Structure 1
Amino acid sequence: MRKVLTITLILLGCISSQMNEDTQQVIVVVNEKWEDSKATLYLLEKKDNQWQHQTSWPTVTGRNGLAWGKGEFTLPSKDMVEKKEGDGKAPAGIFKITNMLYGYAKTPPEGTKLNYTALSENYLGIDDSKSKYYNKIVDTRKIEKDWDSFEHMRRKDHLYRWVLVVEHNLNPTTKGSGSCIFLHLWISPQSDTSGCTAMSEANILKLIKWIDPQKKPRFIQLPRRIYQSYASQMGLPKLPVEEPKNEK
Structure 2
Amino acid sequence: MITRIPSVALVAASVLLTGCGGGALAATDHASAPTSASSSQASPSPSSEISAEAAPRQLPGVGPKMLARIPATTEQVVLVTGRSADSPLSTLALYERTDDGWEQTASWAAHNALKGWSDHHMAGDLRSPIGVYSLTDAGGLLKDPGTKLTYDHGRGFVSPGTGFEGEPLAGSFDYVIAINYNRQPGTSPLDWTRPLGSSRGGGIWIHVDHGGPTHGCVSIAEAHMKELLRTLDPARHPVVVMGDAAALDH
Query: How would you bin the TM-score normalised by the shorter chain?
Result: 0.5 to 0.7
Determine the C-alpha separation between the residues in 2 that align with 1:51 and 1:11.
17
Determine the C-alpha separation between the residues in 1 that align with 2:81 and 2:67.
19
Question: Secondary structure, in 3 states, of the residue corresponding to 1:15?
Answer: coil
Q: Does 1:174 align with 2:201?
A: no
Which residue does 2:92 correspond to in 1?
Answer: 41
Q: Quick one: which of 172, 179, 183 aligns to 1:159?
A: 172
Superposed CA RMSD: 2.0
Which residue does 1:96 correspond to in 2?
Answer: 134
Question: Could you say which structure has the larger radius of gyration?
Answer: 2
Q: Does 1:219 align with 2:240?
A: yes
Give the total of aligned pairs: 170
* Alpha-carbon spacing, 1:202–1:177, altered in 2? closer, same or farther (3 Å): same
Please say if residues 77 and 96 of structure 2, whose CA atoms lie closer than 8 Å, have aligned partners that are also in contact.
yes
CA-to-aligned-CA distance 1:183-208 (integer Å, 9 cap, x gap): 111112xx100111111101111111
Which residue does 2:151 correspond to in 1?
Answer: 116
Letter in 2 for 1:183: I
* Alpha-carbon spacing, 1:174–1:207, altered in 2? closer, same or farther (3 Å): same
Which residue does 2:14 correspond to in 1?
Answer: none
Q: CA deviation at 1:13?
A: 6.2
Please say if residues 91 and 195 of structure 1, whose CA atoms lie closer than 8 Å, have aligned partners that are also in contact.
yes
Task: Note the residue ranges of structure 2 that are not aligned, 5 or more in a row.
Answer: 1-61, 161-169, 185-194
Which residue does 2:69 correspond to in 1?
Answer: 15
Question: Secondary structure, in 3 states, of the residue corresponding to 1:207?
Answer: helix
Q: Quick one: which of 197, 206, 210 aligns to 2:231?
A: 210
Structure having the higher strand fraction is: 1
Determine the C-alpha separation between the residues in 2 that align with 1:59 and 1:192.
9
Task: Note the residue ranges of structure 1 that are not aligned, 5 or more in a row.
Answer: 1-7, 69-81, 124-152, 231-248
Letter in 2 for 1:103: G
Determine the C-alpha separation between the residues in 2 that align with 1:101 and 1:32.
26
Please say if residues 119 and 154 of structure 1, whose CA atoms lie closer than 8 Å, have aligned partners that are also in contact.
no
Please say if residues 102 and 162 of structure 1, whose CA atoms lie closer than 8 Å, have aligned partners that are also in contact.
yes
Larger relative contact order (CA 8 Å, sep ≥ 6): 2
CA-to-aligned-CA distance 1:6-43 (integer Å, 9 cap, x gap): xx978536535xx2x20000000011211000000111
